[in-house]
Structures are given as structure tokens and as C-alpha cells.
Structure 1
Amino acid sequence: MTLTLTERTGARVLVDQLLAQGVDRASCVPGESYLSVLDALIGSGVDLLTCRQEGGAAMMAEAWGKLTGRPGICFVTRGPGATNAAAGVHVAAQDSTPMILFVGQVARGMKHREAFQELDYGQVFGTMAKWVVEIDDAARIPELIARAFRVAMQGRPGPVVVALPEDMLDDVVTVADAPRADPAETAPVAADMERLADLLEGAQKPFAIFGGSRWDADAVSAFTGLCERYAIPFAASFRRAGMVPAQHPNYAGDLSLGANPALVKAIGEADLVLIVNSRMSEISSQSYTLLPIPSGSQTLVHIHADPDEIGRVYQPALGINASPRGLAPALDTLSPSAPRQGAWVAEARAGYIDWSEEPKQNPGTLQMGQVLRWMRDTLPDDAILTNGAGNFAVWLNRYYRFRTFNTHLAPTSGSMGYGFPAGIAAKRAHPDRVVVNLAGDGDFMMTVQEFATCAHHGIPLIVVLVDNGMYGTIRAHQEREFPGRVSATSLTNPDFVALAEAHGGFGQRVEKAEDFADAFSAAQASGKPAILHLILDPEALSPTATITGLRARAK
């Protein structure tokens, strides 16, 4: 391989490395600490979204990481810009998403004086990022950026933070570009697959749980094919339902907040539990009650791309270090010695259908179950749905059925405000697809300023905003612990229709589920960023919880 040495500024070297790694878009809030990079991006072909707050910018980059499997890119300025962006870095960490946050830094000669907006980024991001590096020598930019991409993607993916001293970006160096970095795929050894085959052969009621990141459509197909051959029902871990088709006959639902009790019961009755690339964190494990810790009578098989996740909480009978793509060819080789009975699968599937089919009546005029059913039955198969955190998402978890790979963007970290910037990122990346952000009023207001980003860049995202005038999740906990004593959970909201129109967007108020279809069609026809303002009765905290009911149970 011939390397071409080129004389360039550090900023130009940096942008050229992004291009070499296949970066075609990035988000930012501009700052004086990296003006040279902003200049170098001119004419580069990188689609740069100018955002209104660094948290939203970082969440957009995280969403691109989820959609592509390669690091989403975000640029922010030093100090307060970096700390604002920490919200998105935390999402990427807990969601196992590849992402690189570039942050400005003071000039090298000013370090360690607490200069203007100076921070020690290793200290600030050390518990969130997989790696934090400050580039003091422009000649090392190709080396360190290539490493940053690998670290972000390999093993259990996550965020990397790269600090850029302001004066370093103007240094002129003669260096070659680094080649494109692709993550190493880990594959299982033959002995482990033989052991897995033996365990599956002997299981009477196996159950599979998948999750995490690093999947592609072929890896999903290999996993579902194994489940078909061995008659294994399977469930998605928290926020991963959009990875597999819900219409698959072995699909039994997702382990989310408000999970189906029948699903939880079925997993408890399984004699073998196969976990593929999920770390089974607090929500998926139903507050660490789903499986015994450290082990129990069930045979546990845990397959994960990162060996450090195997045995972190649960001690498996068989642990296999393999990424989903590395595992897929090995799964394709496994078949039972005789056809398997499907009654166990049919029972689990029936439990899911019963749970998600008929909308449960909620208090008030607007019936959220009907709204989600309409979206489920009407939106195209490749529609992308996004959401942040809040009780409103329980309706989505229960009633919507994802049908195409990688069509759900939501935070396993439970970060409010995530869904809106994630929706912006998805619509920017896929302008020809329907993208809907389902948001709560408290959730949406966390990153509401990015509606200006939508308007500025002409991104016609549709926001379905569920307004019950409160922080609903916290209010539910409050009513359980302190019934009737409301503190800090009530909200006064703006006129969201007027807010949309003030930005040149489309807005419409919806008070009945029967009016939702026409409102949605009008939003699509407008070609503008849109807010459909759904008025939900405050009593309706979730499909199964009301304020009155929680108070009654607490007495």
C-alpha cells in the first residue's frame, strides 16, 4: 500500500480523517475553540447540522450511531459546551452506541491554569466514555482518530471523547491519512457451539432474549432462524424491539417498563435462557428479578460481543464471546436432531398478541391505544419511530409493532428529551421515509429548542406530542409512595400549536383519537416540521395506571 504524505493544517487533517472513515454528516453547536475545523468542513461534503444546544446535538450523533453502526459525530466547544453534551454521551454509554464527541480545548500553552472554559476531559467524561484522548500533536491525528473509531465500535460499542487544543488545529504537518477502520468481529469456537447445540437439544422450554447493538439484518435472520429450528420463543430487551419483525411467529414481546406479565412468567418457566448480546440491565431484567443472581436452576447461556459483560451480573453455564455478525454463520450450522414441538412457542406468541391487540380504555376523551393502533396499522413498514423517556412510551411499547430492522430509536438510559433530536437525525438521514417522534410534554420540552434546528434545515419531522400537564413517570412513583401529595410534578405548558407555527412549522391540536388520522395526514401534506398536540387526561398515566388507582392501592 502506498501512503501519500500531504502538508495540511491539523484542522484539515482531522476533516480528511473523517472523510476517510466514511463520515457524511455531523452535528454541532459552533464555538471559537474549533473555528479552524468549521472552516475546514466547508466544501468537504459533510452534512453539518447547526443545533441550538449541545445536548440535542450529541443525541443526534448518538442516533446516527444507532442507525449506521458507525460512530455518530458531534462537535462542541470547550467547557459548558462539553458539559451540555454529556447528556448525549451518557445515552451512548448505556445504549452501547458508537459515537465520537469532538470538544474544543484551550491552547496548549494555557493548560493547567484554569484558563477560560478549561476542563480536564479525562476527569469529566472518565466514567461515561470508553476512551478520552487529547491530541497535542497534529501529526498524530490520523493515528488517534482511527483508534477512536475502532474503540467506539469494537467489543461493546460506546462513546469516545476527543479534545482538540485550539492552537494544535492550526499547526501545519505532513502526514498520511489512516485507512478506514472496521470493527473486529469475534466468532465462537467450535467447542462452544457444540456445547450450545447439546444444551438446546436437551431443553424442553428454551427461551431467547436478544438486545444490545452491533446487529445487522443478516445477524437478526440467523438468530430468528435458530429460534425457528429449535422452537424457541424470543423477546427483545428494553428499547430493542425495533431490531426484529414483530410479525415473526416466535416473537413474544419486549422486556420494557410495564412488560407483559405473561412474558415475565414464561421466562421464569423456561429451563434454558439464551441471552444474545443483551447485558440484561435493570429494566430488561425487571429490576434484577427476572433471573436469579448469580445463578439458579435454569440453564443460562450468555453470548456477548464484550467478554467483560459475560458474568458481570449473571453467571452462565456457558458464556460465549461473539459479536452478532461473528456469531451468525455459526448459528446457521445448528439444527435439532428431530423436529421440535411448537406448543411452547405458540403459547408465548399468544400471550404477546393478547397483550398488544386490544387497546385498553384510558380515562378521558383521547384514547392513546387507538392512536398507537392507527399508527401501527397505517405507517409504512420502514417508518422510524423515536421516543425519549416517560410513561407515554408505555403505549408505544405495548401497542406498536415494528416490522423492519432498526426502526426504533429510544434511550435505554431513560434520558428525557432524546426522542426529538433522534427524530431530527433519523429524518435527515432518511428524508424519503416516514419518521415520527412520539414525545411527552415534559420529555419534549427538554430539547424543544431543536425545533428551530428542524425549521432552519427544513427537516419535516412529525412530532406526536402527548400532553398530560405533568412529569407522568415521576408522578406515578409519587402517587405510589406519597399518595395525594403532589410536589414538583405538575407542569404549565406553552401552546404547542403556536410554537410550531412561530417557527414556520405545522401544528394541530388533537383531542379525540378519531381526529388523529386527518391531523397526521395534514402534517404530512404540509411538508413542514410538525407538532400534533394530543391532549391526554391527567388521570391516564399509562395503559394500566391511573392516579386514582395508584392512590387507592397505596392506602
Structure 2
Amino acid sequence: MPRTAGQAIVDTLASRGVRRFYTVPGESFLEVLDAVEQHPDLQLVSTRHESGAAFMAEAEGKLTGRPAVAMATRSVGAANLMVGVGTAFEDATPMVVLCGQVEQSALGRAAFQEVDLPAFFAQVSVHGETLHDPARAGEVAARAHRAATTARPGPAVVALPADVLARPAPDGGPEVVPGRVAAVGPEPADAAEIAALLRTARRPVAVLGSGAQGAWDDVLALVERFGLGVYTAFRRQDAFSNDHPAYLGHLTLRTAPELLGPLRDADVVLALGTRLGDTTSQGFTLPAPSARVVHVDLDPRTLTVPVHLAWTVRADVGAFARALAGLPGRDGAGPGAVDWSSGHAAYLRSSDAEAAAAEVRAARQHDASPGGGVHPVEVVAALERHLPADAVVTNDAGNFSVFAHRYRRFTRPRTQLGPVSGAMGYGLPAAIGASLAAPGRPVVALAGDGGFLMTAVELETAVRVGAPVLCVVFVNGSYGTIAMHQARRFGRTAATGIGPVDVAALARSLGADGVTVTDPGDLDDVLAAATRFDAPRVVAVRTDPDVLVPGVRLSGLVR
């Protein structure tokens, strides 16, 4: 039997290192499904919803730097993929998106479930096209893979008319070989001038985003050569070791004010692989107007930010760091070249989960009113006691994540998977994708009950494919983030309640282990058992619904 266009697409992606295809199967791309299932090097993962498939593929791409494939059928499946595809776009995560399409003869006739798929995804993809000629199937797949992995990574979309996939793809034509992609670095003269700027800076600071995550060692050498203080961008805490003496903190939602002083005082700011979006820039207020900003990124679209730019450098962060690290650095180079000790000490105090949990316990002993549940910081403190440093932590969106970001310290690369997009429902599917991509590594998902319930059915996927993830659910019966905003604006809430779902029983009904914790004294015993990572498990912790974020309670806002 001659190779079909569907087989050619799968073979081409497999030859480039793709290993998993996540999907809800559909009749419009049968040849692709069959080709993946029959390929000895590939895994076909059937999920319960297309959003779960896209989140799993996004997490694998973010963890490994290599794209996975998210697949769906026509307009309805594509619409369900959209939240995960949009997350990959905002997070600069490589992903290949394959969507079945109506037959070519029906295109443009408003056929069943027809939509112009490349146009549909245009604002959240780095590439989009429709396969029309089966002889070019390998070429189209290769182009999508290249678009997803070069420049600023992101999702590349290919629409696949069902009748084209079944046609023969002639063998013997020119093979589309991947080749190597040269790292883009700064011009030598520019590198020399930027190095001179860093050498003479009084308080030089670096902000590290997604572009720095794959250049851990190169960035470390750059930091130590020029004595830079270091911040990590929103949900990029694993871009630099948090225990390094030059680490100053995470630019997140509600960053502790005492951590921002070094960034406000910086005279030179090196922004590496970050968009300096509104969260990272603390509402576009930082870096300060007086700072000279050197912005380095492969995507020119990220190089126009509302700050004073001394330099915009279109370059790969690793290549940029290597170029500067080879030039003369600051006298007495190393973390002590500039004294960041007070800033790092402030970070350590702010992120001390044990100290914060002790304060909660002390306050509880002096409070005569009945307890409202486990405090979120107690959950994070217990996790810190039981999780190894190389554990991969995925997180959903919601107020609970503020505690996770503040009190979890990341000291290894590729250990944090969080959606910059703020997509709810991400945590559990992302953990499954991470577990499949890195078998043997402990993977834990953190979610609120609102986000968890959006994709909880993917526990069935975890059980079926043998992904031994742990999902810790902060159950407070509320969309806490929205309740906080409503209470601040109106003094009351609307549509934020979540019913009394037995999350642990739900987990058990889907084949996973499930346990509920209502007493903080039980956390250690439960987590000690749950962190064996030998099966999919859910720990549902009943948290205090009055606690919104550190230092803010709902009762203090409602009038």
C-alpha cells in the first residue's frame, strides 16, 4: 500500500523528535490517528476534552522545549482546542496543531462543521496553512514544525481536508531534512557596547522570561560576570535558581512591595526573553523611567515596550549571554561585585513558608472563633517539606496560585509549568503531559476547586495512560479571584459560589486515589503517602474561604 498523506505528516513529525499526539479522536483525520497508533516511536493519547489535549501538549512543549501535537476535528474540536492553543501562543511554547477539515470539494460551501481554520487561529498562532496537495504533506508538516520551534516559539496550525489525507503521498521525492538552525546573537560591536554599559552600571538588574529558560548555564555565567541582580518574570521562576545570592524575587501578581526596591533603583535593566507584560512590569510601572533597558528577544514584536530602551537586540538569549560572558566583566566579578545581599535576604524572608505557616498557627491559637479550614500557606509549607527539588510543579489559575508562587522556591531548571495566559483548567492536564514527557520525574498539579472542576475528567486519562500525578486541590467553594475583585469594587459578590463537591470522591469515581484533608495537622501524613508518585492521586484540602491572598480576607472587603 502506498504511503498516504496522513502517514507522511506523521513520519515527518516523528523524524523531528515529536513523540506524543494528544487528541479527542474525530472522523476527519482518521489517517493521522491510524498512522500515529501504528508508529513504533509515537504515543497517541486520547483525552476527554480537546482543552485537556491542548494543555497536555502545551505542558510537554514547555517542559522539554520540543513540540507535541494537539489534534482535533473541524470547527467544534478546534474551538475546544483554542484555550490551550492560546496559552501556548502567550507562553511562547512550541506546539503543532493538526485539525481535520471538510473535504476539499466542500470547502467554502458552509459544509458541516466547516470554518477557515488558519484564519480561526490566526491571532493565537505563529503559522497557519491548509494542506491541499498530498504530495506536499511532508513539506507542510516540516514547515509547521520549523515555525513552531524557531524565532519566538508557538503553535503552528495545519488544516487537513479529510479526502487529502487518504490520498497517496508519492515516495522518492526530495526529503525535507530539518537541518540545523543557527543561534542568532548580537553583533560583536553591539555586544562590546552593552558589556561596557553593564560594567559601568551602578545597580544592574536582569529580568528573565521564557527565552531564558533554556539557557540556564549561559545566563548564570552572564549574571556572575557582570554582578547582576536577578528577577524572574511572571510564572518563570525556574529560569534562575531561587537560592542564588543574586536572586531578588518573582515579578508576579501581588509581588511583595519590599522585593521591588532593587528594580526601582536599577540604572540598567537587562530584559532577557520577556515581553515585560503588565504583570511582570507591575502594571507597566517598572523598570523605572530613569533606567536604561536592554531588551533581548528573538521576536521583534516583543521589543516594543513602554519603557526607555537603550538597546533592542533581536537575539537568542543563550547566544546573547555567551557573547557577553566572553567579554571583560566587572572588576571583582561574581555575586559580590554588586552587593545584593539585602535584596536576597528580603526574598528569603518573604518566601519563608515555614515562618508564614507558624504565624498562621499562632494566630489560630489566639482566635476564639471556629476555624474556617486549612490556610493555603500551610498547604504550600507541607508540600515544601515533601517535594524533592526536581519535582515538576504545574499550577492552575486562581488566588491559591499566589501562595504557590510566593512560597515555592525553584532551584532547578524546567520545574515550573504555569500559564502566563491565566487559563483555568490547566493544572491537571499539564501535569499529565509533563508526566508522560518526563517519566520517572515527580509531577504535582496545584489547582483551586474552580479550575480543577473544569478539567477533572482528565483523571480518567491519567489512570488509563499510567501517569502517576499528584493533584492538590485547594477547595474553598468559590471563584476567589473574582470574589476579591467584586468585593473591592462593589462590597459584595455575584456568581462566584461553587457547590459542595466531594472532590476526593470524584477522583475515586474516575479511578484515581482521593483523600480529603480538613485539619492542617493531617497534611504531613497525607502528603507523605501521596508523594510516592506511584499512581494518580488527588488530595483535596478544605481551605479557609475567607483567605484570598496573603494579607487579604474577603470579610475585610465585603460591606
Q: Is the structural similarity TM-score above 0.5?
A: yes
Q: Residues 222 and 321 of structure 2 are in contact (CA less than 8 Å); yes or no, is this contact kept in structure 1?
A: no
**What's the CA shift string for 1:326-361, capped at 9, x where partnerless?**
223213213435226556311210110111112165
Partner of 2:185: 187
For the residue of structure 2 that corresponds to 1:514, the secondary structure is: helix
Aligned pair in 2 of structure 1 residues 182, 29: CA closer, same or farther (>3 Å)?
farther
Aligned pair in 2 of structure 1 residues 417, 319: CA closer, same or farther (>3 Å)?
same
Verify: 1:245 aligned to 2:241, yes or no.
yes
1:455-534 alignment, distance < 5 Å: 455-483=463-491, 485-525=492-532, 527-534=534-541
Larger CA deviation: 23-32 vs 332-341: 332-341
Larger CA deviation: 303-312 vs 190-199: 303-312
Partner of 1:66: 62
In structure 2, C-alpha distance between the alignment counterparts of 1:467 and 1:173, rounded to whole Å: 52
Q: CA deviation at 1:371?
A: 2.4
Partner of 1:393: 401
Q: Residues 6 and 32 of structure 2 are in contact (CA less than 8 Å); yes or no, is this contact kept in structure 1?
A: yes
**What's the CA shift string for 1:396-422, capped at 9, x where partnerless?**
111110121010001000000111110
Verify: 1:29 aligned to 2:1, yes or no.
no
Verify: 1:550 aligned to 2:545, yes or no.
no
Pick from 208, 211, 232: which aligns with 1:210?
A: 208
Larger CA deviation: 93-102 vs 225-234: 225-234
Which ranges in structure 1 are unaligned for 5 or more consecutive residues?
1-5
For the residue of structure 2 that corresponds to 1:274, the secondary structure is: strand
Q: Residues 375 and 547 of structure 2 are in contact (CA less than 8 Å); yes or no, is this contact kept in structure 1?
A: no
Amino acid at match of 1:409: L
In structure 1, C-alpha distance between the alignment counterparts of 2:7 and 2:426, rounded to whole Å: 32
Amino acid at match of 2:9: L
In structure 1, C-alpha distance between the alignment counterparts of 2:356 and 2:376, rounded to whole Å: 8
In structure 2, C-alpha distance between the alignment counterparts of 1:337 and 1:25, rounded to whole Å: 46
Pick from 416, 429, 438: which aligns with 1:421?
A: 429
Aligned pair in 2 of structure 1 residues 173, 122: CA closer, same or farther (>3 Å)?
closer
Q: Residues 209 and 234 of structure 1 are in contact (CA less than 8 Å); yes or no, is this contact kept in structure 2?
A: yes
Partner of 2:318: 325
**What's the CA shift string for 1:351-387, capped at 9, x where partnerless?**
1011111216557441322321232233112100001
Aligned pair in 2 of structure 1 residues 52, 214: CA closer, same or farther (>3 Å)?
farther
In structure 2, C-alpha distance between the alignment counterparts of 1:173 and 1:214, rounded to whole Å: 40
For the residue of structure 2 that corresponds to 1:213, the secondary structure is: helix
In structure 2, C-alpha distance between the alignment counterparts of 1:114 and 1:29, rounded to whole Å: 23
In structure 2, C-alpha distance between the alignment counterparts of 1:312 and 1:148, rounded to whole Å: 28
Partner of 2:367: none
Q: Residues 65 and 71 of structure 1 are in contact (CA less than 8 Å); yes or no, is this contact kept in structure 2?
A: yes
Q: CA deviation at 1:313?
A: 3.5
Verify: 1:352 aligned to 2:360, yes or no.
no
Larger CA deviation: 96-105 vs 7-16: 7-16
Amino acid at match of 2:197: L
Aligned pair in 2 of structure 1 residues 548, 508: CA closer, same or farther (>3 Å)?
same
**What's the CA shift string for 1:456-504, capped at 9, x where partnerless?**
2222211100011000111111111011x22111111421111111122
**What's the CA shift string for 1:261-289, capped at 9, x where partnerless?**
12222211111111111111111111212
Partner of 2:292: 299
Amino acid at match of 1:322: A
Aligned pair in 2 of structure 1 residues 551, 183: CA closer, same or farther (>3 Å)?
farther
Partner of 1:431: 439
In structure 2, C-alpha distance between the alignment counterparts of 1:28 and 1:114, rounded to whole Å: 25
Q: Residues 22 and 69 of structure 2 are in contact (CA less than 8 Å); yes or no, is this contact kept in structure 1?
A: yes
Amino acid at match of 1:457: V
TM, length-normalised to structure 2? 0.93
Q: Residues 428 and 471 of structure 2 are in contact (CA less than 8 Å); yes or no, is this contact kept in structure 1?
A: yes
Q: CA deviation at 1:214?
A: 6.3
Q: Residues 226 and 335 of structure 1 are in contact (CA less than 8 Å); yes or no, is this contact kept in structure 2?
A: no
Aligned pair in 2 of structure 1 residues 466, 100: CA closer, same or farther (>3 Å)?
same
Aligned pair in 2 of structure 1 residues 184, 89: CA closer, same or farther (>3 Å)?
farther
Verify: 1:235 aligned to 2:231, yes or no.
yes
In structure 1, C-alpha distance between the alignment counterparts of 2:45 and 2:308, rounded to whole Å: 44
In structure 2, C-alpha distance between the alignment counterparts of 1:102 and 1:543, rounded to whole Å: 42
Q: CA deviation at 1:227?
A: 1.8
Partner of 2:416: 408
In structure 1, C-alpha distance between the alignment counterparts of 2:182 and 2:453, rounded to whole Å: 40
Verify: 1:449 aligned to 2:457, yes or no.
yes
Q: Residues 36 and 43 of structure 2 are in contact (CA less than 8 Å); yes or no, is this contact kept in structure 1?
A: no
Partner of 1:20: 15
In structure 1, C-alpha distance between the alignment counterparts of 2:211 and 2:510, rounded to whole Å: 36
Q: Residues 507 and 530 of structure 1 are in contact (CA less than 8 Å); yes or no, is this contact kept in structure 2?
A: yes
Q: CA deviation at 1:20?
A: 1.1
Pick from 32, 39, 44: which aligns with 2:39?
A: 44
Q: CA deviation at 1:184?
A: 4.0
Partner of 1:3: none
Amino acid at match of 2:51: G
For the residue of structure 2 that corresponds to 1:290, the secondary structure is: coil
Amino acid at match of 1:359: A
Q: Residues 227 and 330 of structure 2 are in contact (CA less than 8 Å); yes or no, is this contact kept in structure 1?
A: no
Aligned pair in 2 of structure 1 residues 348, 526: CA closer, same or farther (>3 Å)?
closer
Which ranges in structure 2 are unaligned for 5 or more consecutive residues?
361-370
Q: CA deviation at 1:241?
A: 0.2
Q: Residues 281 and 287 of structure 2 are in contact (CA less than 8 Å); yes or no, is this contact kept in structure 1?
A: yes
Larger CA deviation: 23-32 vs 352-361: 352-361
For the residue of structure 1 that corresponds to 2:462, the secondary structure is: helix
For the residue of structure 1 that corresponds to 2:549, the secondary structure is: coil
Q: CA deviation at 1:162?
A: 0.6
Q: Residues 399 and 548 of structure 2 are in contact (CA less than 8 Å); yes or no, is this contact kept in structure 1?
A: yes
Partner of 1:225: 221
Partner of 2:331: 338
In structure 2, C-alpha distance between the alignment counterparts of 1:277 and 1:371, rounded to whole Å: 32
1:367-386 alignment, distance < 5 Å: 367-386=375-394
Amino acid at match of 1:419: G
Amino acid at match of 2:403: W
In structure 1, C-alpha distance between the alignment counterparts of 2:470 and 2:193, rounded to whole Å: 49
For the residue of structure 2 that corresponds to 1:428, the secondary structure is: helix
In structure 2, C-alpha distance between the alignment counterparts of 1:166 and 1:214, rounded to whole Å: 40
Q: CA deviation at 1:315?
A: 4.3
Aligned pair in 2 of structure 1 residues 368, 182: CA closer, same or farther (>3 Å)?
farther
**What's the CA shift string for 1:8-61, capped at 9, x where partnerless?**
211111111111111111211100001111112232021111101001101111
